[in-house]
Structure 1
Amino acid sequence: MKNVKSRVLAGTAFTGALALALTACGTDAVQQTTPTSSGNDSEATASGSIAGAGASSQEKAMGGWIATVASVAPDLSVTYEAIGSGGGREQFLAGGVQFAGSDAALKEEEVAAGADRCYGGEVLELPLYISPIAVVYNLPGVSAEHINMSAETIAKVFNGDITKWNDPAIAAENEGVELPDIDVIPVNRSDESGTTENFTEYLAAASNGAWTHEPSGDWPRSGTQSGNGTSGLIDTVASAEGAIGYADASRAGDLGTVALKVGESYVPFSAEAAAKVVDASPRSEHATDKRLVVELDRSTTAEGAYPLVLISYSIACSVYETSEDATNVKAFLNYVASAEGQTVAAQPDVAGSAPISENLRAEVVAAIDSITTK
């Protein structure tokens, strides 16, 4: 695979980076879900272009959304640059893009900066992409469908306390699996990443103290193997036997994936298992009717739930400078939030994400419909 630092997805052509994304996704799957209308007035009047940037986890879903939004807003052009959550938030707050994607909620200081960027309005944080994070590994000689690991074992692997794949701690959770006597090579993201923040949140909450670092979008240990962005991490894991990393599950490809210990069972990732955790989790104490931030229950023992979940937020303004920007952002985000848009991203050959619930959709649409001009 080619190491891609960032990728720009254009909504008006199946060429360049978008063609690469759709080739990976499978254009037939996208075309089969193309709606004739999502019934939103803003889509009919949308024209011109908007730009977004941010989370690489959303890259494949964005490819599907951008490729199909033309069916309801034919005069709207959308681009998205997958530069990572931190970079996307930075560009958005600086006014460089009209919307952003972030795998982590805005920090307190970013919310305050957003009021200035949004002309006195409030920043919108909309949970429109829900996906499990896969713990991926490269062990071609292991035939097991999944390797089982508890959060405690995963924490010890990424903390450097477990250094061999046949370590007794891993073997105890994988009876009957012949594990090789080779080095474990933990791989982390080198850039500031919402995926890293979600992963370290899970380890901090569920590892019984084995993970001693604070949750952060920046990897807390130095001297490790790493990759830039989701593509870079996947490339690094795929190139080294014994490597193990973490990435949005849509990018796992042919790599092996870990089944997480939840209660007394081991649960592999799936959209359905991810949705169970989101539905059961409360809102953040700082959430508003425009900032729909979810406080995920990482230590759940609910049967069939997969607690290593990524919620990637679409970030926008409640107030824009021009009516064109307001109309275009509303049109695109309403399409993404629609049943049709969520179905596009949920296709296994696109992103395999978990569609948002009808109750959450109603809240998201109300927030989008509040967008106006100064």
Structure 2
Amino acid sequence: MKALCWHGKHDVRYETVPDPKIEEPRDAIIKMSCCAICGSDLHLFNGYMPTMESGDILGHEFMGEVVEVGSGNSRLKVGDRVVVPFTICCGECEQCRRGNFSVCERSNRNKEMADKAFGHATAGLFGYSHLTGGYPGGQAEYVRVPYADVTPVKIPEGLTDEQVLFLGDIFPTGWQAAVACDIQPTDTVAVWGAGPVGQFCIRSAVLLGARQVVCIDHVPERLAMAAAGGALTINFDEESVLDRLKELTQGKGPEKCIDAVGLEAHATRSLDSLYDKAKQAVMLETDRPHVLREMIYVCRPAGILSIPGVYGGIIDKLPIGALMNKGLTVRTGQTHVNRWTDDLLRRIQEGQIDPSFVITHEVPLSEGPGMYKTFRDKQDGCIKVVMKP
């Protein structure tokens, strides 16, 4: 079969790889019909995530048709149409029983490695390094899905791939980030980053009843999409984020702040951003936490910081004193996708939201290597790339 494979920094190739096979009784094989490039994939593309190996198949946003089912899987049948969440969960361990699917205790088959890195292993993830299990990803014609009697979301008739594909990652990620904010009708919610996850944070905050939502970015087409979704926008190249947020909140700051950027934060006019880039270049710091610092500074005392943006390692100069003395609450983590999918699928069916709004480019899988660069460089108005075999 054909797949997109990682061969090093900025080196993604469309090549022939062995077809996946059933390995465990609960497995299923999915014939991919639609997949996407996620902002998190760019962290792999740009070489910031450790434990990638040459030839690893990328991708963790995908869906398709079941073409083979293991002997122990009675939930799925050949022909079922499913979206596959990026988090692999067993459904039986203590964390899964509590709905904490992204920290499943069984699905990371490289548990010892992850224990050393994080203290305790998190769940296995598709296409996202050997630290999270080394599972081949979904940017491929066929995918083996472990624990396929638990994880996949069955899709009813009448919905297009484009409407439901993002149930596997960015829609529940944005939703979880907004839910973590405990949004009240009087709240201002500030969202840093107008990429795909940021767009779903905005729409989720609107659906959950925030008084106003403010989005911070500097890419015009992303800010325009954010405005179309109900957000006030701040272009950090053109105005002070701090001053504008004070103006919008009568000097008090937003009650809730969401970091939808993660480890590759960009800021063109800040000294701390230049500091981070210098330290990262000489490997004295892995992640650039400009957004985290700014959120801690501007958030209203007793507010909530929600962090769906991915971080990979160590950050420097975090103002822990401000965080503690202002009484801020921090909530973060990979998404517990299956906790949210039933509700979000219902909202799609009822017409509350059509997630396909975020798609700007649809291409064959074979054009994937070039689209990684287009997406990274934000060329041609690119916000979200969908690929089909």
Q: Is TM more than 0.5 here?
A: no
* Higher RCO, Cα 8 Å, sep 6+: 1
TM-score (norm 2): 0.29
Higher helix proportion: 1
TM-score (norm 1): 0.30
